[in-house]
Structure 1
Amino acid sequence: MLLSLLPLLLLLLVRASQASHFLGTMMTYYPEETFTDGSVSVVLRYKLNFVSCSHSDAWQCNGNCGAQTQTLNLSVVEEVSGEWCQREGAITRLLPNNAGFETLLAGGDWIYSIQNGILSWRAVTAVEMRNRSDIGKHNTSPQTTILPALRIPSNCAKNINLLAFDPDGDEVRCRYGNTSASECDPCTPPSVLSVSSNCSLSFSPTYSNTELHYAVQLVIEDFPTQNMNLIQTDGSQEVKTTNDAISKIPLQFVLKVGPPVPSCEDGAYLPRFLPPTPENRAQLFALAGQALEINIRAEATQSVITGLLYSGPYNAVKNSSGSGNFSLTWTPSASEGGQSHPICFVVQAKVTLSPG
């Protein structure tokens, strides 16, 4: 099991008027079985983020799609103030051979007042299922997850190290989506946010007193650490170098830049994590059928910690044991054994500032 902690951000619990409803999505995939007739199965896990749990959408498939044998709506996580809802699901596909395919989520609209001019949504996953000569099996996508909305005070420069892990040991790189490649509609990046190839986001302060929303539309890709071949069922091969992406997945969410706070120091108005909270991008291991408990502690001397927001496996359970003390408990099933399951969380806090 893989655990990732986003840098602790102050969530001011300010709701904007929203009639449109999309707040992003993500998808990952894991190969499952290879059968004697050459067919293969793959499970795709996704999250859909909306303002209301009443909204839903469906992924389309292009290419070697085979048959969709199972679709599971695994869980719904709703932010307590009603700001967002995250739906988690899984799709299992049985493919006639190991040629790849593409999934597409398209529609509209993002929430109102997106500052970088994004209206419609579009997200693409490129699934690579050919056998790899370097590891002797099918490719697995990078693993990641995200909350539907992240809040940052407008006067605080922040670096956010996103979860970006690859079970095959590949190099994982992040970038903004490309409009010409139809990876989003359009892919205009937020002017206040830069992304590095190692999946770190850097926020540049705006000092705005008004809450501003930005659509963040990222693509995460895996690159082999040495040249290798992708081998199809019919024997045909394709060379992949260390500069060639193997697969790609979308990671999309909303950045909400809120009013300034008097101090950007962690632990004052902005909460900070304390032990025994695991470190950022820590990897924890759990046995199937046995509960893993993740203890989380945070403090803020000038604000009130009100809750924990998280995105993780569908059957994770959250508990609170007093201000700033939380736990997440997850018991993996036998079918989840040998896989990586990402978790990210932030502490939610509220501050009351005197006028003037």
Structure 2
Amino acid sequence: MSQPLLLLLLVCSSQASHFYGTVMTYYPKNTNADGSVTVVIRYKLNFHNCGFNSWTCLSGNCGSETSVQGTVDEESSIWCQTERISTRLVPSNAPFGLVFASNSWISNTKNNIVNWRAVTLVELRNRSDTGQANTSPQTTILPAVRVPSNCQRDFNLLAFDPDGDEVRCRYGNDTSPLNECNPCTPPSVLSLSSSCSLSFSPTISSNEGPYAVQLVMEDFPRQTINLTQTSGSQEEKTTIDAISKIPVQFALRGKISCFDSLDLWLIFTE
């Protein structure tokens, strides 16, 4: 049974030790006369308690950073979601990578995820179809998701791409050159379509509990394009080549009892 995503999300009130997930998006702001680029990066971090956390450079020249951080919402001693707005000045429009990695995820995840690792690939080269720098897909997450474990639930992740690209989702890959998570074991109770639709299957009581969901969202051009760097070099991207990628990670908990969507909405808004 398909339901709007917001009607199915419920903040998890179970005890947790640390990390609940993250999401990042970016958009270019200015290209300067010397070829340098200003890019604005926004990311949300979900933890057991509020605190200061930041991403670090993984690959390429990540430039210099100024940032501000604020608390989006929190439930004392249960969870806290913060959002950080980072402005980076990079020397050129060459792609670069950012990483957020440490330990530990919420305790006792059923898919045995302990350490967290999330990776973003920032692509700023000019596109031949728009004449502008690429912008990542836009999405968001809540601190935690809870679904009734004895009911089928299908829902779509919210996703939008400012460049008009096709947005696709997949599970993270820990054998890729950038190691997108550590490890990337998907939840056994979830199936994911490339269109960013998640399906939760009814499960037995022994599978109830928290899961770490570690997804990657990517943008694909709808026709073959060229990406041009400040130096003049070009790279072709076809409809099967991802342009950029962002992480979408969150905690999911299956719990017995089957509510209808109205019940879940009322509980969430109390």
Q: TM-score range by the shorter chain?
A: over 0.9
Aligned partners of 2:132, 2:9: CA distance in 1, in Å?
43
* Identity score, percent: 60
In the alignment, structure 1 residue 126 sits paired with structure 2 residue 121: yes
Q: Which amino acid aligns with 2:42?
A: R
Please give the residue correspondences for 1:266-281 in structure 2 after superposition, counting only pairs within 5 Å: 266-267=261-262, 269-271=263-265
- Please, which of 130, 139, 147 is the counterpart of residue 144 of structure 1? 139
Change (3 A) 1:10 1:129: closer
Residue aligning to 2:69: 73
Helix, strand or coil for the counterpart of 2:205? coil
Q: Which amino acid aligns with 1:143?
A: Q
Greater Rg over alpha carbons, structure? 1
Residue aligning to 1:17: 15
Please give the residue correspondences for 1:186-335 in structure 2 after superposition, counting only pairs within 5 Å: 186-208=183-205, 211-261=208-258, 264-267=259-262, 269-271=263-265, 305-306=266-267
Aligned partners of 2:185, 2:80: CA distance in 1, in Å?
25
Helix, strand or coil for the counterpart of 2:175? helix
Change (3 A) 1:234 1:120: same
Q: CA deviation at 1:41?
A: 0.6
Aligned partners of 2:135, 2:9: CA distance in 1, in Å?
34
User: What do the CA deviations read for 1:103-142 (whole angstroms, capped 9, x no partner)?
Assistant: 0000000011100010000000000011101100000000
Count residues in correspondence: 264
Helix, strand or coil for the counterpart of 1:17? coil
- Please, which of 45, 48, 60 is the counterpart of residue 48 of structure 1? 45
2:22 touches 2:250 (CA, 8 Å); kept in 1? yes
Q: CA deviation at 1:17?
A: 3.3
1:10 touches 1:348 (CA, 8 Å); kept in 2? no
| TM-score of the superposed pair, with normalisation by structure 1 | 0.71
Helix, strand or coil for the counterpart of 1:180? coil
Q: CA deviation at 1:209?
A: 7.8
Deviating above 6 A after TM superposition, structure 1's stretches of 4 or more consecutive aligned residues are none
- Please, which of 29, 33, 55 is the counterpart of residue 32 of structure 1? 29
Residue aligning to 2:180: 183
Aligned partners of 1:33, 1:10: CA distance in 2, in Å?
37
Change (3 A) 1:36 1:116: same
Helix, strand or coil for the counterpart of 1:72? strand
Q: Which amino acid aligns with 1:160?
A: F
1:22 touches 1:109 (CA, 8 Å); kept in 2? yes
1:142 touches 1:164 (CA, 8 Å); kept in 2? yes
User: What do the CA deviations read for 1:217-261 (whole angstroms, capped 9, x no partner)?
Assistant: 000000000001000111110000010000000000000111223
Residue aligning to 1:166: 161
User: What do the CA deviations read for 1:240-298 (whole angstroms, capped 9, x no partner)?
Assistant: 0010000000000000111223xx4433x444xxxxxxxxxxxxxxxxxxxxxxxxxxx
1:9 touches 1:348 (CA, 8 Å); kept in 2? no
User: What do the CA deviations read for 1:30-80 (whole angstroms, capped 9, x no partner)?
Assistant: 100011111111010000100111x33220013121221x1111333113x
Q: Which amino acid aligns with 1:258?
A: K
Gaps of 5+ in 2: none
Q: Which amino acid aligns with 1:41?
A: T
| TM-score of the superposed pair, with normalisation by structure 2 | 0.92
Aligned partners of 1:153, 1:77: CA distance in 2, in Å?
24
Q: Which amino acid aligns with 2:14?
A: A
User: What do the CA deviations read for 1:184-233 (whole angstroms, capped 9, x no partner)?
Assistant: 00000000001100000000011428850000000000000000100011
2:45 touches 2:82 (CA, 8 Å); kept in 1? yes
Aligned partners of 1:66, 1:85: CA distance in 2, in Å?
29
1:161 touches 1:200 (CA, 8 Å); kept in 2? yes
Residue aligning to 1:274: none
1:210 touches 1:258 (CA, 8 Å); kept in 2? no
